[in-house]
Structure 1
Amino acid sequence: MRTNGIAPDKHTFPLLLKGFSKLENENPFQFYAHIVKFGLNFDQFVRNSLIYAFSGCGYLESANHVFDESRVQWDAYVGSALLDMYMKCGYHKDACKVFNEMPVKNVVCWSALIAGYTQCSKYKDALLALKYMLSESIRPNQSTFTSVLTSCAHLGALDRGKSVHGYICRHKIPVNSLLGTSLVDMYAKCGCIDVALSVFGKLPTKDVFTWTAMISGLAMDGDALKALNFFSHMLQSGVLPNEVTFIGVLSACSHGGLVDEGRKLFGSMKQDFHLEPTVDHYGCMVDLLGRVGYLLGELVGNHLIKLQSNHSGRYILLSNLYSTWKKWEIDAGIRKLMKGKRVEKITGHSWIE
């Protein structure tokens, strides 16, 4: 374009920035100098694109700098991108300030706020935001409900989840793969495995996340054989597993005492699917082998403590193994070691509507 003597205009850089922000390990700074050079840094359309690009690439300070210079006409999509970035960085008050200053709060803005609360584990705030959104007569979309259902799942808020599902059905909101996965996950985590299976069966398309949600739900429900059966069906349908899928199937093997099957699946991660096992997968194997008294469970448990010496779950996992084997003195020693290193146990909690 430049070699042909054609100067870029206000439509050129927004298109470039939109495409560039989707690339990994890249940043939009190289365009900024050209934007200033051609005097386009005062164009609102270009500025909005810059804010969106900086936010999407993680350059919050730069996005905020451009944002502060162009508050008059910024649009909902740009504000939502900045809000999302603040939430991801843990700046909840700043994110809420951006939201409150938005001149027009459409479904994109509200969805960004609810998604941000969900990502930051502020699940009650996410549900409260939905309530305010509906009171403003803003109709939620698939993206909104995906975040809301995730919050319901983590809170164990079955009644609220059912209410959301009812709204989706009444208003005939199309259930895509992402929304369907959230429904399956919510019902499974709330203990309604039969409803989760029913929702799963009605979904027209199922990706790896949908299959993983169902497999993990069956594993949590203690139905190891059905979880492994679903894993086989997933492979037969041409969907390849990811790391989270294997946490689900290995957990199923652990709960079902399926040692040989668990070891085969663990070995297949790297050999057949080129997935590198993480500490979570090793943790599943510790639990699986420890339940049947394998010495390997003890060895891996000690190795996990070396890898993550400040992770309370690793100490508790090994402590539980010794407790299962009635090795009380060693169990007490593990807990004493944990206390000596000032590793605190993270307390779980649940809130049911």
Structure 2
Amino acid sequence: MIGEALQLSRLVKRYDDTLAVDDLSLTVNAGEFMSVLGPSGSGKTSILSMVAGFERPSSGEIIIGSKEVTQLAPNDRNIGMVFQKYALFPHLTVRQNIAFPLKLKKRWKETWQSRADEMLELVQLASFADRLPAQLSGGQQQRVAVARALAFEPPLMLMDEPLGALDKKLREAMQIEIKRIQQSVGATILYVTHDQEEALTMSDRVAIMKSGRVMQIGTPIELYRSPKSTFVADFVGRMNFLEGESFARQDGGQDIRLCESITLTMPADYRSQTVSSVGQERVTIALRPEMLGIEAREETKPNRIPGVVEHSIFMGAHEVLIVRLSLPGRPAVEAQVPHVFSASPFKPGQEVDVIVEPNAMCCFSASERSAA
């Protein structure tokens, strides 16, 4: 393992009257792949710039391993970096590009060539060693950039939207490739992206940012299945939201009344911490499209919401149905159903039931959503 831990302690960054990063504390463990994910303006690029040394924090500390680097110049931090633009030297071969940082380090003065060849094997580009960057595909150039950043065994690697310039299919392939390389050498990576799928695919943990603050840190599964706020629920993946009124049951569960005739039930072991365990309150329930079932209309049964199919969208492996619900305000939800080779059984205008299993719901206080 070459990676060391990164610790950010009470980090603040102001640009005049703008608070870009607000009292951020974050630890990336040695050998961990952590992504910082958030919308534009959330502060994620400012974090990367401060860790790299391109920007100085207004206050707070940055520690890599056991060394505080808050005030050090970028070249004194020994960090590997990979950018969206590959920044390869066009006049140097692939091997020479990888070897460039090695020649600047005393440790590699005598063995830079063998180390460069080792990195070529790692990124599976040994047969391209003597080619120029212009003779490579975008994905191959990005692998060269990763190899160059890893070559001198940095304690930390920073990646700033490194796959943004690639097409979708190549981007998906490179996600797997970068993760393979990271795991094989035990590198510590702080990865900045606005692409949810990218973060969920590659990361051991993800930090969700909003307005300079961390909203939640967790594994991809934790963030997807157990978001702690409506912001996280809405930002990570697709989500439907419905409003209702929650009533606590004696067994510790919740009944959520959507209207006079429709009530959903939640078991005691799947109640959100943001909802009171006693009394009643206005709530927002969050429903993943793939967790909803769709059936032809039947007699009233528990945890079913009647509606009408408005649109059916073919997505290859599945269909997305837009269903207008028979609730006050006539809200619409998306439901994702597996695609079969025969014609879809659901047509626009058809009356259906949306089936909501108890464990498919996340429930939040309505006041929490308005605050988000």
Q: Normalising to structure 2: TM-score of the pair?
A: 0.28
- Answer 1 or 2: which has greater helix percent: 1
Q: Normalising to structure 1: TM-score of the pair?
A: 0.29
Whose RCO is larger (CA < 8 A, sep 6+)? 2
- Answer 1 or 2: which has greater strand percent: 2
